[in-house]
A and B are shown apart, each in its own frame.
Chain A
């Protein structure tokens, strides 16, 4: 098969002698490869050889014999030049469409390429766990440090397992003793190199992480701390301990969830005394990865790790903990894990971008086909003359395909140039980790080039096959064709084009409406002028100073209220536990979100008490046994009058309800408001929230910073307004909204380009008809209306096609939000009308110009 194909192609571009030489060599090489490398690789190599061989031969041939081909190109270039307007619309439209498509596909490829460079990737899993009872399950990325060694020795299905313990931030001493805060540091077992395909530039993978206080660093770190010196054997001061550098890693690609910069040997954990005496119960820090042996069952591993858990830990764990094996490929997408690392992707946006990419390219391609086919009708005469002079059908087909491919190629070049100019700014705008390698780019180009080539061939093939069929006498006789042939096909394309544009416009409007809704809906709290700061709660000394801090803060005249709190709206964390009614039946506990806070909490956030009272320092019991519920919690517990009701918190602490607060959104509007209980507990002040007066806020903040530093002994006062924190929940939506609106505008623009060209063509063809109508007394207005109506009809059809599709798509997107806008017909009608208006403006400018022309000009030659 392949041999015949090769022979066929080669025989066209070279002579018999060269042919037999080449064929002999190719067969010889193929036979060699077949023996050494197997069938598949031999085939691939043969195809590759073939491609390599034809290029120089083609060039060779082109320089000599094929003057005909040159002639085609010459004619094509002349045609492009003569109809510069059309050509521009055609080329530019396709180029823009390609650029947009490439940009969006790039995002998709980048997102889906996470962690796919590990050679054993499909067999790598992470040991994670579910914690809690039915209804209040939480997922944790980390497990106990004892697992990896036990898995290595006791589970035969596991090839290798290793731990990585994440350090949020450590202080590294630079060459001039300056302090750097460094993140992305992991304690790692030496086995990590057997799991992940990281390339170690220097050092032996098996031994670099053996000794305590040995580290492996990436090139980036080496450059930062050692400039260009060879770092191997040097020492690095991390958090006051000296580490010996034993290995150098190549920098990590950004499209991985596990982006390490410094790996410290896990043995160091023991030496530092951070390894628990009972490693089976030290839970949470250690990410455990393992490679499944080939052809082994994952289920039996899952079973065996849970057996390990049951054998080695106490009842406290076994009752609530369930180990789960998470495939590497899921890590980028699973967002619900606590203690997880790396950037998370949203599959919804990947789909959104993918469909937008396909739609925009489709519009551009329809446009191209439409314009080219309509243009060819103009060239009937040329075809007739060519036939009379002796061109056969094959030659005509070749000519038209050459022309159409030439135009596609030119726009392809423009498209790729435009893409290269734009992609980096897109990525910095999206703030997405950008992990594109050359091979990604080539893949992307290959996809788009293939698509565009198909379009070029399709667009060229219609006139090529259809029009080359006519008998020359037929063509010459008719003189001017009516222009209706192929009209229905083109109308279908116009309808599709506009339908897609309308879908995109509706989508844009509704995304913006939803964002507006989310930003302006009553959240139940006041987010203005609340200053958040992370309280150093791990430091016991600072913790003791909390009351001092509060008193000092409140001394300032512009500080209204201050509270320590576990979490506030805008910070993504929550704390769930179970409560039960006092005296209720055993086991009748329900899950509830609890919020440890301080006395000023309700006032700081401007929450509204609907019944009962706020916490007050006047009542001495408030800090021990008073709680406030939100309305959702009251509803869940089924209280008529909740004030004074007794509850049991954490299964042991008796509390009574003193007030009910109006529901407020702690999480984004994607989520429903969950039942919540607020109580006072200074152990859990992760944050401080301070309500200040809007006037002189800079001075107030400066004062707070001073107090913060002196009282807590912190080096910095990092604060953030709650408003910004909360709005960042919608950053993804806002960015998508902006991008989609840009792409929509482009799509609409391309559609209009197409319509513009088509209308110009139409009026040109009907020049005489218009002249006759005018002579017979038609007014300019009636003529313009006549031709505008023609197009308006199709845009209306496009509306009818687009609405249900748009409705379905946007409804799916809105399904993401617990609180969403209702779908009204208005955006649909609005975008439909807009499309219609734009179409009419585009078309009528031509129609009016044609109608204004003097009929003498058009009828004179008859």
Chain B
């Protein structure tokens, strides 16, 4: 199987959590909320573009209520493979953590 990098995983999760409202700024803010760290744009959009190229997310053009010039906004949603990948990751991490001795 192909592994995702950590930021890719976080991004997928963020998009999933945001549901219908996943666009650039919202995704970045969600990631920042989840991780508690300020992210550089380059660290977000590079992986995001890679996710799209590999077919884990798809995009749709939608309305942008806050733009005066009426430029559209790009919304991101998970593809089927994307969702499967997330589930895979979840199972995998559960398995990995299953037999870990208690840490003190």
Question: Which of A's residues lie within 8 Å of B, judged by CB?
Answer: 14, 17-18, 20-22, 24-26, 28-29, 49, 52-57, 59-60, 64
Contact = CB atoms under 8 A, between A and B. Distances in A.
Nearest to A19: B74
B23 A21 contact: yes
Contact of B25 (A28, A49, A60): A28
Contacts of A14: 49
B52 interface: yes
A25 B31 CA distance: 14
B33 interface: no
A54 B52 contact: no
Interface string B41-73: 111011111101100000100001001000111
Given A17-B52, A25-B24, A25-B28, A60 B73 contact: no
Interface in B13-52: 23-25, 28, 40-43, 45-50, 52
A52 B43 CA distance: 8
B42 A53 contact: yes
A56 B53 contact: no
A60 B46 contact: yes
Contact of B59 (A17, A22, A59, A64): A17
Contacts of B43: 52, 56
B41 A18 contact: no
Given A25-B24, A25-B28, A57 B45 contact: yes
Contacts of A52: 40-43
A18 B45 contact: yes
A20 B41 contact: no
B74 A21 contact: yes
Nearest to A53: B42
Contacts of A21: 23-24, 45, 48, 74
A22 B46 contact: no
B9 to A, nearest CB: 17
A556 B40 CA distance: 80
Contacts of B52: 17-18
Contacts of B49: 14, 18, 57, 60
Nearest to A15: B49
- For the complex of A and B, list the 7 residue pairs with the smallest distance between their C-beta atoms, beginning with the closest: A56-B46, A52-B42, A21-B24, A53-B42, A25-B24, A52-B40, A21-B74
Contacts of A59: 46
B42 A54 contact: yes
Nearest to A14: B49
A601 to B, nearest CB: 74
Contacts of B59: 17
A20 B45 contact: no
Given A20-B72, A21-B74, A56 B24 contact: no
Contacts of B41: 22, 25-26, 29, 49, 52-53
A597 B70 CA distance: 93
Contacts of A24: 23-25, 64, 67, 71, 73-74
B45 A22 contact: yes
A49 B47 CA distance: 16
B25 A55 contact: no
Given A24-B67, A25-B24, A54-B42, 20 more contacts: A14-B49, A17-B74, A20-B71, A21-B45, A22-B45, A24-B64, A29-B41, A49-B42, A53-B40, A55-B46, A56-B42, A56-B45, A57-B42, A57-B45, A57-B46, A57-B49, A59-B46, A60-B46, A60-B50, A60-B53
5 contacts: A20-B71, A20-B73, A21-B74, A52-B42, A64-B53
A53 B28 CA distance: 13
Nearest to A54: B42
A26 B40 CA distance: 11
B74 to A, nearest CB: 5
Contacts of B72: 20
Interface in B57-102: 59, 64, 67, 71-74
A64 B52 CA distance: 14
Contact of A55 (B42, B64, B74): B42
A56 B47 CA distance: 8
Contacts of B40: 49, 52-53
Most chain B beta carbons < 10 A, residue from A18, A28, A59: A18
A60 B59 CA distance: 18
Central interface residue in B28, B46, B72, by most chain A CB within 10 Å: B46
A59 B45 CA distance: 12
Contacts of B46: 53, 55-57, 59-60
B24 to A, nearest CB: 4
Contacts of A20: 71-74
A29 B45 CA distance: 14
Nearest to B46: A56
A53 B24 contact: no
A714 B40 CA distance: 66
A21 B42 CA distance: 12
Contacts of A57: 42, 45-46, 49
Given A24-B24, A24-B25, A28-B25, A53 B73 contact: no
Nearest to A63: B50
Contacts of B74: 17, 20-21, 24
A22 B24 CA distance: 7
Nearest to B71: A20
A14 B50 CA distance: 11
Nearest to A57: B46
Contacts of A17: 52, 59, 74
B66 to A, nearest CB: 9
A59 B48 CA distance: 13
Nearest to A13: B49
A28 B44 CA distance: 15
A279 to B, nearest CB: 55
B26 to A, nearest CB: 10
A64 B53 CA distance: 10
Contacts of B64: 24
Contacts of A54: 42
A49 B39 CA distance: 11
A303 B49 CA distance: 67
B44 to A, nearest CB: 8
Nearest to A10: B45
Contacts of A53: 40-42, 45-46
A549 to B, nearest CB: 73
Contacts of B24: 21-22, 24-25
Contacts of A49: 40-42
A17 B77 CA distance: 13
Contacts of B45: 18, 21-22, 25, 53, 56-57
Most-contacted residue by chain A among B23, B43, B45 (CB, 10 A): B45
Contacts of B23: 21, 24
B34 to A, nearest CB: 17
Given A49-B40, A64-B53, A18 B25 contact: no
A25 B45 CA distance: 10
B77 to A, nearest CB: 13
Nearest to B45: A22
A21 B71 CA distance: 11
In the complex, which of the residues A28, A49, A56 has the most CB atoms of chain B within 10 Å of its own CB atom? A56
